[in-house]
Amino acid sequence: MKKVFQIALIIGLTGGCQQQLPDANLLHVSQQGVLKVGMQYGPTTYLNGAVEPLGYEYEMARGFADYLGVKLEVFPYYASTSLLRALDKGNIDLIASNLTVTDANRAYFKFGPAYQNVSEKLVFLQGNVRPRSFDDLAGTLVIASDTSDSHVISEVTQAYENQLAAQWQFELTDEQDELELLENVVNGVIDYTIVDSNLLSLVRRKHPELSVGFSVTETHPIAWVTSVKTDDSLNGALIEYFGNIKQNGQLAALEDKYFGHVRQFNYVDTTLFLKAAKEVLPKYEAWFRQYAGDIDWRLLAAMSYQESHWDPRAKSPTGVRGMMMLTLPTARDWKVTSRLDPEQSIRGGSQYFNSLLSRIPDRIQYPDRLWFALAAYNIGLGHLEDARVLTERQGANPDLWVDVKKHLPLLRQKRYYKTTRYGYARGHEALNYVTNIRRYYDSLVYYYDEHPDPANTEVSE
CA distance 456 to 460: 10
- Residue (of 380, 332, 322, 389) closest to 356 by Cα position: 380
Residue from 90, 36, 62, 457 nearest 285 by CA: 457
Task: Report the b/e string of 440-455 with b at 16+ CB within 10 A.
Answer: bbbbbbbbbeeeeeee
Q: Within a 10 A sphere around the Cβ of 423, how many other Cβ atoms?
A: 13
Other C-beta atoms within 10 Å of 401: how many?
Answer: 25
**Which residue type does 256 have?**
D
Give me the half-sphere count of Cα atoms (radius 13 Å) on the Cβ side of residue 284.
30
What is the DSSP pairing of strand 168-173 with strand 139-144? parallel
Diameter of the chain by CA atoms? Answer: 79
Catalytic residue among 57, 178, 285, 307: 307
- Give kind and range of the element (H or E) at residue 223: strand 220-227
Give 314-349 as a DSSP string.
Answer: -B-TTS-BTTTTB-HHHHHHTT-S-TT-HHHHHHHH
Angle at 294 between CA 291 and CA 299, to 5 degrees: 70
3-class secondary-structure state, position 449:
helix
C-alpha–C-alpha distance, residues 387 and 403, integer Å: 10
* Contacts by 285-291, CB closer than 8 A, 24 or more apart: 285/456, 285/459, 286/456, 286/457, 286/458, 286/459, 287/342, 287/343, 287/346, 287/347, 287/459, 288/346, 289/457, 291/346, 291/347, 291/350, 291/351
**Does 307 qualify as catalytic in the annotation?**
yes
User: Rounded distance, CA 145 to CA 401, Å?
Assistant: 38
Contact yes or no for 225/94 (Cβ under 8 A): yes
Of 394, 390, 391, the residue nearest 402 (C-alpha): 391
**Residues 6 or more apart in contact with residue 84 via CB below 8 angstroms:** 7, 10, 11, 95
Catalytic residues: 307
